[in-house]
Structure 1
Amino acid sequence: MAAGFGYTAKLSIGDRLAALLRLRVAQINPCSYCLILHTRIAVEVGIGAAMVAHLAELAAEHDVLRFRSTRTGVLRSADTLRARALR
């Protein structure tokens, strides 16, 4: 779908982790379209509804400590990159 908009980036991480990263960025950016799109994709790649809901709770709390270390690092990186972009 993203290729239709000229988005061609290839990530060297797994599809599930990439979906979590993109969903987190969509939660940081207040864009309803992105949030709906990346939530749907996360479910399509096998991330359960409970994990998606949990991530939404974490976004509200800014608490990523319950995720495994790899996911935590990726999610924190997304937060850091977004914060730097806003400077």
Structure 2
Amino acid sequence: MIFTGSLNAQGFEGWFNKYLLPSLTRASVLIMDNAPIHRKSAISQLVEHTEHQIVFLPKYSPDLNDIEHDFSALKRKRMYASSDTSLDDIIRDYCIT
């Protein structure tokens, strides 16, 4: 299936029900992010009477994402480093410490 243009929730649910679910040959775990077109209640209803499971990821939170802490620390190190210190050196120093 080739799709051109934007997609709304109704279009996604139609594709999900007509193409994705029938193409799954064994019980599957379907993972959905929090895109606005992934309406939790509608998709849950489509999967409800199948052998598949649906898992919705939690909303993004930088506090729960370890790499965000590292990026924050690197930004602070860059801010206080001398102007001739390369970003590579800052990252190496951060990774070793």
TM-score by length of 1: 0.36
Which structure has greater helix proportion?
Answer: 1
Which structure carries more relative contact order (alpha carbon 8 Å, separation 6+)? 1
Higher CA-based Rg: 2
TM-score by length of 2: 0.33
